[in-house]
Amino acid sequence: MTVQKQPGPMPSQPLTFLRRGQPVTLPAVPPDRTLLQVLREDLHCTGTKEGCGEGDCGACTVVLGEAVDGQLKLQAVNACIKLAHSVQGQAVFTVEDLGGTHPVQEAMVQCHGSQCGFCTPGFVMSLFALYEDTGGGQGVDHARAQAALSGNLCRCTGYRPILDAAARMGELPCPAGARVDEAAVLRGLRTLGGARPDAPYQRPPTLEALLKARAAHPDAQVVAGTTDVGLWITKQHKTYARLLDVTGAAELRQVETYPHHIAIGAAVNLTDAYAALVAERPSLAAFAHRFAGLPVRNAGTLGGNVANGSPIGDSMPLLIALGASVVLMRWDPKRRAIAHRELRLEDLYTGYRQNVMRPDELLCWIKVPRPAPGEWLQVDKVSKRFEDDISAVCLAVKLRIEDGVVREASIGAGGVAATPTRAARTEAALLDQPWNEDTVMFASAVLRDEFRPISDMRASADYRRAVLGNLLRRHWLAHQGQRGLRLETLDLEALA
């Protein structure tokens, strides 16, 4: 008789974070347990709701507080896909912490912002983050509130009364203790330590320690914001015995500016990374806003988006068009030093979610060239929802036009191949040609024929090809001065 060996218990480790000014310590939390599970099942904080389990609905929204350059930084995130150990040493705010008398909650009541109430705690926490960010809800209008609530969905109330509540919350009296005591939270955070170096969930504080941990555990699942890995856990029911979090490395949490490029660390979240890109190229503001919802941008990182290599990841077509490169690093034990290599972003990928990185390498930096004189850039995303949705097609076009002739062309495309890719044939069709309607019509036909996209739940292959060509024509119209065209009102298929 053969007795099958039963799997051993999942490794675990202590988790400590700050709540209501006091440290909360859980002695044994598995590395792949989510923050939502810890809150609802371990701490019985059931005000935070379990909705979609994939960061789309916002019912699970909580606010995290972290010390950044001596200041308290508060951001709303999705607890359902946030791994619990990623909040080690941070402050966690849930709807229970507002006490039922907070101006945000009172405004929701006065403006009738809730019906069934299931989504309400998530809306309240997103508005709480906005309330703190605006010094007590000052100057919040519908537009700013809508941006803050881009990751929250309501199926019964409708958004108008919720937006009204956002605008009113700054007018209501603030009870004593309702505002976050920044100094007290920072003092509390300084008392919290990190995990031990050999723990199953590691978040090393320096780049060298991170690379050494990667060399020691090349089989560990690398994570950053877990806006994708979190879904592997909640939807695919994967388990992980060892996880390596890059977001603790101080060096990788920076955006550095050089004469010819900016360098975005792999641990910089999407909110800050796109802010840096928009500062260099203001025309990217609308596109940046359409990348997922705010809680996803607050958690996910640009480095994670690039390393993940999804063919429908919105960052890569833009970065390819901008001529970005990536810096891969590893710990060299022989030299006892960090080794690195740099390559063009599009050369990182070898197939669907496959890349050239060695098992002991990590993607550490994304280098983006600064704007050149005469550069013209446009990037468009086509999706079923305006916000908080995944692209069917994404096209980014960067041109340099002199005396009516295209002297440089750089085009990145997403959603049309197994990897984010460069449209090299279309670039060649534009190069050294007059920038006129005939050239654009010819190049649009080349672009339609350059890729062989698949049909899936988001779009058919024929639709994707048609939209590719039509977007290039739309870019030409925009360059001619017809900038009033809005993608959401333009009949792209009618242009085919």
End-to-end CA distance of the chain: 69
- pLDDT class of 4 with cuts at 50, 70, 90: very low
Is residue 18 within 8 Å of 24, Cβ to Cβ? yes
Half-sphere exposure of 215 (CA within 13 A, CB side): 16
Task: For residues 298-319, give the mean pLDDT.
Answer: 95
Per-residue model confidence (pLDDT) at position 176: 84
Mean pLDDT of the chain: 92
Residue 257 has pLDDT above 90, yes or no: yes
Per-residue model confidence (pLDDT) at position 452: 94
* 61-68 vs 71-78, strand pairing mode: antiparallel
Question: b/e per residue, 107-138, with b = 16+ CB within 10 A?
Answer: bbeebebbeeebbbbbbbbbbbbbbbbbebbe
Residue 196 has pLDDT above 80, yes or no: no
Task: For residues 389-397, give the mean pLDDT.
Answer: 92
Give the percent of the chain with pLDDT over 90.
Answer: 86
Rounded to whole angstroms, the Cα distance separating 53 from 36 reads 9
Please report how the helices 120-133 and 103-110 are oriented relative to each other, as an axis angle in degrees rounded to 10: 130
Residue 486 has pLDDT above 60, yes or no: no
Task: For residues 72-83, give the mean pLDDT.
Answer: 97
Q: In the CATH scheme, what architecture does the domain 9-197 have?
A: Roll (3.10)
Residue 434 has pLDDT above 70, yes or no: yes
How are the residues of the chain apportioned to helix, strand and coil, as percentages rounded to the nearest 5? 35, 25, 40
Radius of gyration of the chain (CA): 24
Task: For residues 86-99, give the mean pLDDT.
Answer: 96
Task: For residues 175-195, give the mean pLDDT.
Answer: 88
DSSP string, 352-420: TTEES--TT-EEEEEEEEPPPTTEEEEEEEE-SSSSSB--SEEEEEEEEEETTEEEEEEEEEESSSSS-
Residue 158 has pLDDT above 50, yes or no: yes
Amino acid at position 49, single letter:
K
Give the percent of the chain with pLDDT over 70.
Answer: 95
Per-residue model confidence (pLDDT) at position 373: 93
Per-residue model confidence (pLDDT) at position 489: 44
Residue 2 has pLDDT above 50, yes or no: no
Residue 114 has pLDDT above 90, yes or no: yes
Q: Which tops the pLDDT comparison, 2 or 160?
A: 160
Per-residue model confidence (pLDDT) at position 485: 45
Residue 496 has pLDDT above 50, yes or no: no
Per-residue model confidence (pLDDT) at position 9: 61
**Helices and strands (DSSP H and E) totals, the chain:** 16, 19
Residue 495 has pLDDT above 80, yes or no: no
Is residue 115 within 8 Å of 156, Cβ to Cβ? yes
Question: Domain spans of the chain?
Answer: 9-197, 203-369, 376-495
How far is residue 430 CA from its own chain's centroid?
Answer: 33
Is residue 290 within 8 Å of 385, Cβ to Cβ? no
Burial class (CB in 10 A: 0-12, 13-18, 19+), 208: middle
Q: In the CATH scheme, what architecture does the domain 376-495 have?
A: 2-Layer Sandwich (3.30)
DSSP-assigned beta bridge partners for residue 244: 202, 222
Task: For residues 410-428, give the mean pLDDT.
Answer: 97
Is residue 274 within 8 Å of 290, Cβ to Cβ? no
Kindly report which listed range (82-86, 153-157, 166-170) carries the lowest average pLDDT score.
Answer: 153-157
Alpha helix (H) residue ranges in 81-119: 103-110
- With tokens 């990037």, the residue in question is 379
Per-residue model confidence (pLDDT) at position 388: 74
DSSP string, 321-345: HTT-EEEEEEEETTTTEEEEEEEEG
Going by the DSSP 8-state scheme, the letter that residue 56 receives in this structure is S
Which residues lie below 8 Å from residue 321, measured CB to CB, with a gap of 6+? 377, 379, 396, 397, 398, 410, 411, 412
Per-residue model confidence (pLDDT) at position 386: 81
H or E element in which residue 74 lies: strand 71-78
Rounded to whole angstroms, the Cα distance separating 366 from 343 reads 10
DSSP-assigned beta bridge partners for residue 17: 24
| CATH placement of domain 203-369 | 3.30.465.10
Structure tokens at 450: 């350059």
pTM beyond cutoff 0.95: no
- pLDDT class of 204 with cuts at 50, 70, 90: very high
Task: For residues 213-226, give the mean pLDDT.
Answer: 96
